[in-house]
Amino acid sequence: MAGCLGGESSDLDGWPYDRPEDEEEEEEQQDEEQENCDPPDPPPCPAGHMRIDGELVDLASRMNAVLPIVGATVTHRGSALATTSSNDGRFSLCTPIANNHVFDVDAPGALLDAIVANSNGLDQIEMRMMTAAAANTLYAAHGMQFDPARAHVLVATFGMGGDIELENAAHGTALATPELPQPGPLVWTPGTQGRYVLFPNVAITGASATVHHRGLLDLTETTPLEPGVLTIVVIGSYFCFVAPCV
């Protein structure tokens, strides 16, 4: 069987005369083969549900070095609907529209498990994961140590701008990456404005804290906290189909 086409057209397209029949038949065959190459559309979600498409990648991923998280179990909190990330780190899950904001991620290997707070009910989200060792290396560069008895909160703004605050919970020095995508590894500096904002070693005095986004919109999100777990708060969305969003 011929390979999938990349959108080629005949050299005779647009010319003011009819093409030979054998060439027309060949093009029809190519079109049919291309249809067979295209992935099938996913089945529709049940009534009252919406599809969430997600991508799990390692914190160290960058444009030319994608590190997908394979085999993570993503469970919708409240309905127990679950799926597993594929070889490219992606997953798709139908969730109740009335309550589609929080997911639990059972991460493979040494990666920290995660809680994902999809604050705006977005249908496309990207999540960055990390190991305790990677977190400790990052924290140590800023005079801190990873504390497994505390929570760790990563906020993804994806171009929404503004300032991020974590209220009702003490934490270490907040770290942020530049607002624009970076071709190389993420560069973290102290701050609360950027594409990603990380709050290390968050004290757990209650089951949750409040993420306050002061930008184009004034938004607050009640964020679950658990010891040794990475809470990922997704405020904006920039879902990448070829490379991770950096």
Per-residue pLDDT tens digits for 1-42: 445 544 444 333 443 445 556 666 666 666 665 555 555 666
Looking at the predicted structure, is the pLDDT value of residue 141 above 90?
yes
Q: Are 120 and 232 in contact (CB under 8 A)?
A: no
CA distance 98 to 178: 34
DSSP code string of 152-199: EEEEE-TT--SEEEEESS--S--EE--SS--SSS---EE-S-SSEEEE
Q: Does pTM surpass 0.85? A: no
Q: Is the dihedral of CA 189, 191, 195, 197 positive or negative?
A: positive
Which of 38-47, 101-110, 160-169 is the least confident region?
Answer: 38-47
Residue ranges per domain, the chain? 56-234
Count CA atoms closer than 13 A to 113's CA, side-chain side.
13
